[in-house]
Amino acid sequence: MSVATFRKSGVAVATATWIVPVDGGRDGLLTSSASGKIKRLGNTPRLTLRPSDVRGRVIAGTTPVTGTVELVTSGADFEAITSTMRAKYGLMVPTMRLVDSVRHLGKGPFPMRTPAW
């Protein structure tokens, strides 16, 4: 999915992101607390979703879906999202966490945060 978060100026920044369903008709995603998405979601919790390919190129003719996020770092929602993510994407989850860890070396520890909406 292409997830667009918004800068303080209101400009949308789209990023390809893995999404999984959560109870209550909500969806969830995993991202590093050091990511730009987290910073932008701290400014405004709104986002838009659009189907995309793996590189984030939006599929023509699709309509964006808008929503708001709740950032969670622990608890039942966090566990539900991480377990569903592992079941859906398998070894790609720990592989991407390793890549994120290497990219953030020297920048201090960063827990994973899970926006759920």
Residues 89, 105: Cα–Cα separation, whole Å: 25
What does the alpha-carbon distance between residue 97 and residue 117 come to, in Å, rounded to a whole number?
22
Element (H, E) at 88: helix 76-89
Decide if pLDDT at 105 tops 80: no
Indicate the pTM of the whole model: 0.74
The amino acid present at 6, given as its one-letter code, is F
In contact, 71 and 41? CB cutoff 8 Å: yes
Q: Give the C-alpha distances (Å, rounded to integers) separating 80 from 57, 110, 116.
A: 28, 20, 10
Provide the residue ranges of all domains of the chain, joining segments of one domain with +.
2-116
Domain spanning 2-116, CATH architecture: Roll (2.30)
Confidence grade of residue 9 (pLDDT, cut at 50, 70, 90): very high
The pair of three-digit structure tokens given for residue 18, joined into one six-digit string: 């893995």
- Measure the CA–CA gap between 87 and 16, rounded to whole angstroms: 19
What is the per-residue pLDDT across 24-73, written as a single tens digit (0 to 9) for each? 888 998 887 778 888 899 889 999 999 998 888 999 999 999 999 988 88
Beta carbons of 41 and 69 less than 8 angstroms apart: yes
